Structure 1
Amino acid sequence: MVALIFVFIGALLIGIPIAFVIGCSALYYFLFVGNIPMDMIGQKLYSGCDNFVLLAIPFFILAGDLMNRSKITDSLVNFAKLLVGRIPGALAQVNVVCSIFFAGITGAGVADVAALGSVLIPSMRKEGYATDYAAAITVASSVIGPIIPPSIIMVVYSMTTGESVGALFAAGFVPGLSVGLTLMIMSYYFAIRYKHPRRTESIPFAEAVVTVRKSLTALMCPVILVGGIFSGDFTPTEAAAVACFYAMIAGVFLLKTLSFRDIVECIARSAVSSSVILLIIAMAGLFSQVMALEHLPRTAAQLILQITQNKYTYLLLVNLLLLFMGMIMETAASVILLAPILLPIAIQLGIHPLHFALVMLVNLNIGLITPPVGVCLFAAAPIAGISIEKISKAIMPFICAELFALLMITYIPELVLIVPRMLGFIR
């Protein structure tokens, strides 16, 4: 087992993509340690992806891509300006609010950075904001995307642990808004300190009505998605397919910004993005067999319970572990590898599984913006035209704000459980 750990860490350090790190580690075990029949590899790779819920992933990615290509970002930005444009640090506040709205469409942090960053970073720079600050708040607010439903990573977590997707979606609302609120407070602080501009004049009522009307096309997508799931009319997979259909109708007929060529390109790009996630899931399914054969979940539980049997201390240790894992490993891979180990211990200590799920997911999503493997940093750097190092330095105060939100979510379970309880997912 020690040799397996060295193979895993070594492959990770030399820069092999995480899917192949997991797969090579499992293959090493099958060949040299476990003496497992090789035909089991194909079976486990297939069974790792043989789950109807996973069909939601390519559909959610496609829906987000179609919405991006339909240029709905402009209407969302104008609507956000109407809501928070007079608060100090107006465009930074708009950035966060847009991420909250956009979270209900894409469910992916990188899509948030790509769509909003291309609009808001140049706008903020034109208004006098420092480029690194504009990039930092754009990247920091992208964490909200995978927390507020719909969320691709929640679908992966559901597949891994058996937790209800609807319950996970319901549990994500308050944590996502909490992260957004902490970012808005931090933006307000910087606005006062550095005298960032804001809108001082009132928007005429007629103009406000036009802005709201134009934004309805974009805002209806999350309403249809989330409403359909919570009402029981759609499964998450069906809701994702409906979102794709709505995005096509809206882009082609309502906004008239989407062509047939655009749709084909979106389908091709979404297929590539989906294949990356599904490859990680397949490889992780193979590695989970290794963990089962080595009784790793039981061994880890015994080790952790020897250290502490206090659930609050356990949550602190888990947060430290996940923050580290988020810095070096892709989010989906961390969920698939760690959730089966950590969740049973949490349940044994009296932690609600839905509460633990959101603690884990919020924590790992912060990894999207932490170096050295923060994919949202890499997405923002070419848009802003500055180095990752500059963005990493500027984003540190916002990461601290998000860690404060994470602590609230960790130690105030009702922030997670209140909406699922209201909707009847839990008692």
Structure 2
Amino acid sequence: MIVLLFVLMFAFMALGLEIYISMGAASMIYLLVATETPLNLLTSTMVKEIDSYTLLAIPFFILAGELMNRSGMTLRLVEFSKFFIGKLKGGLAYSAVGVNIFSAGVSGSAPADCSAVSSVMLPAMKKDGYKEGFSASINAAAATIGPIIPPSIPMVFLALITNLSVGRLFLGGIIPGFLMGAALLVICYVLMKKQDLPVVDYKRSWKKFMSLFKDTFFALVAPVIIILGIITGMVTVTEVAILATAYVLLIGMFVYRAISWKDLVHIFASTGVFASTIMVLFSIVGIFSWIMAGEQVADQLAELFLSLHVNAVTFLLLVNIFLLFIGMIMDALPAMLIFIPVLLPLALELGVDPIHFGVVVVVNLMIGLVTPPVGALLYIVSRIGKIPFHVVGRSIFPFVLALLAVLLLITFVPSLVTWIPYSMMGE
């Protein structure tokens, strides 16, 4: 009967209903038809699912990203990166990757980073003669680094539904995040050799460097606050999110003077709407997860995999293929919340390190954000750059292949994920 739950959910999604409505309606119908569970259990389960102190980190990270974008920090990071790579052919493309790596250390959200950086980079790249498909693709692909380098909203979700350490998941994403950046830079270099791009005459001097560094210093410090807070363990993830938000707010209002009191109303309102949709989704998933636990779906799948004598490597490859497919048709957070409570027990049964498994899952689902037909980040850059979606969809594939190469590398070499968290925070 558990098949009925998934059939109903995907049927509602196919009709165009929001994911949380599809999951909630499917769960309610399933409880009415297949069980004798009282429906008042729905409300108590939903409230219990979001009654979490750690969950507060999500709206604060969202707010920090919004404040960072409004304060002009992104533009300052672009100018700072151009100082080092401005004379290279295709320097703006390299800057797009570099700025996304810096931005990743504040917001932890791929859509937020994509919107902020693309709004600055796409007009500049168009002016310098970059092909529109290439420009949109590199900005979308680079934004996938946002939830890999700490902090990361998806990793907070993953920790909440699996009871894994948020700090270790954050630290586990550092090396994979930089590997993703390196892979994208290589693809940029190969693709730009075929483009007739001007080499910008960017004059460097110690005086100019100091001027840019002074202007960008406060933007560069924000990720450091978050990383140090996680490594030292002096504050919780939620407290780190609050500190980062307060820091960016103060810098934006009183140092850069780019945020006014009037702006705060809109910023808080948009953050509240975005965060509330995530909270609703999380509460609905509580019902979904409760049903799957009651039906012992994880135990049944474990028996199936063990009967097939699947080893850890084969299991991870199968999970990657499955999640890559799911990521093509579903957003990352609901996919994670639906399937990971089932898949993680299997991974543990087969001896897969949970931190390694968690980071592999997040990287996998971030690739889904730039993979057609859904590809949420592709729609964002298409809208910002006023570029036809099919043009972006065709141009993204070299970058997807680069990201897939990194995914396979961290899948087969677990130490690339586990070395930093276990050396910093112990076994």
Give me the TM-score of the superposition, normalised by structure 1: 0.97
Q: Is 1:390–2:391 an aligned residue pair? A: yes
Q: Residue 92 of structure 1 aligns to a residue in which SS?
A: helix
1:316-372, CA deviations, whole angstroms, 9 ceiling, x for partnerless residues? 100000001111122111111111111111112111111111111100111111122
Q: Per-residue deviation at 1:89? A: 2.0
1:133–1:391 CA contact under 8 A, matched in 2: yes
| Code of the aligned partner of 1:114 | S
- 2:168: which partner in 1? 167
Q: Per-residue deviation at 1:88? A: 3.5
Distance across 1 between alignment mates of 2:291 and 2:193:
54
Q: Per-residue deviation at 1:148? A: 0.5
Q: Per-residue deviation at 1:133? A: 1.1
- 2:111: which partner in 1? 110
Q: Per-residue deviation at 1:90? A: 1.1
- 1:399: which partner in 2? 400
- 1:289: which partner in 2? 290
| Code of the aligned partner of 1:381 | S
Q: Residue 37 of structure 1 aligns to a residue in which SS?
A: coil
**C-alpha spacing 1:68/1:135, structure 2 compared with 1 (3 Å):** same
Q: Per-residue deviation at 1:14? A: 1.6
| Code of the aligned partner of 1:395 | I
Alignment of 1:244-323 (within 5 A): 244-323=245-324
| Code of the aligned partner of 1:216 | F
Distance across 2 between alignment mates of 1:308 and 1:106:
41
Q: Per-residue deviation at 1:424? A: 2.5
| Code of the aligned partner of 1:204 | S
1:85–1:93 CA contact under 8 A, matched in 2: no
Q: Per-residue deviation at 1:136? A: 0.7
Alignment of 1:116-195 (within 5 A): 116-195=117-196
Q: Per-residue deviation at 1:40? A: 0.1
- 1:327: which partner in 2? 328
Distance across 1 between alignment mates of 2:29 and 2:260:
48
Distance across 2 between alignment mates of 1:188 and 1:90:
10
**C-alpha spacing 1:302/1:87, structure 2 compared with 1 (3 Å):** farther
Distance across 2 between alignment mates of 1:84 and 1:298:
53
Distance across 2 between alignment mates of 1:233 and 1:4:
43
1:99-129, CA deviations, whole angstroms, 9 ceiling, x for partnerless residues? 0000001110111111111110010111110
Moved more, 200-209 or 358-367: 200-209
Alignment of 1:195-214 (within 5 A): 195-199=196-200, 201-214=202-215
Distance across 1 between alignment mates of 2:339 and 2:328:
15
Distance across 2 between alignment mates of 1:83 and 1:301:
51
Q: Is 1:215–2:200 an aligned residue pair? A: no
1:42-66, CA deviations, whole angstroms, 9 ceiling, x for partnerless residues? 0111111111100000000001101
Distance across 2 between alignment mates of 1:90 and 1:197:
10
How many residue pairs match? The answer is: 426
| Code of the aligned partner of 2:257 | K
Q: Per-residue deviation at 1:305? A: 2.5
Q: Per-residue deviation at 1:307? A: 3.2
| Code of the aligned partner of 2:276 | S
| Code of the aligned partner of 1:3 | L
Q: Residue 144 of structure 1 aligns to a residue in which SS?
A: coil
Distance across 2 between alignment mates of 1:28 and 1:393:
40
2:168–2:422 CA contact under 8 A, matched in 1: no
Q: Percent identity over the alignment?
A: 38
Alignment of 1:69-88 (within 5 A): 69-88=70-89
1:207-230, CA deviations, whole angstroms, 9 ceiling, x for partnerless residues? 011111111111111111221222
Distance across 2 between alignment mates of 1:77 and 1:22:
41
| Code of the aligned partner of 2:155 | M
- 1:59: which partner in 2? 60
Distance across 2 between alignment mates of 1:200 and 1:183:
24
Q: Per-residue deviation at 1:232? A: 1.8
1:378-411, CA deviations, whole angstroms, 9 ceiling, x for partnerless residues? 2111111012221111111101110001011111
**C-alpha spacing 1:287/1:402, structure 2 compared with 1 (3 Å):** same
Distance across 2 between alignment mates of 1:343 and 1:88:
45
1:276-303, CA deviations, whole angstroms, 9 ceiling, x for partnerless residues? 1111111111100110111111111122
CA RMSD, Structure 1 to Structure 2 (Å):
1.3
Give me the TM-score of the superposition, normalised by structure 2: 0.97
1:91–1:198 CA contact under 8 A, matched in 2: no
Q: Per-residue deviation at 1:200? A: 5.4
- 2:38: which partner in 1? 37
Q: Residue 194 of structure 1 aligns to a residue in which SS?
A: coil
Alignment of 1:359-398 (within 5 A): 359-398=360-399
1:96–1:183 CA contact under 8 A, matched in 2: yes
Q: Which runs of 5+ in 1 are unaligned?
A: none
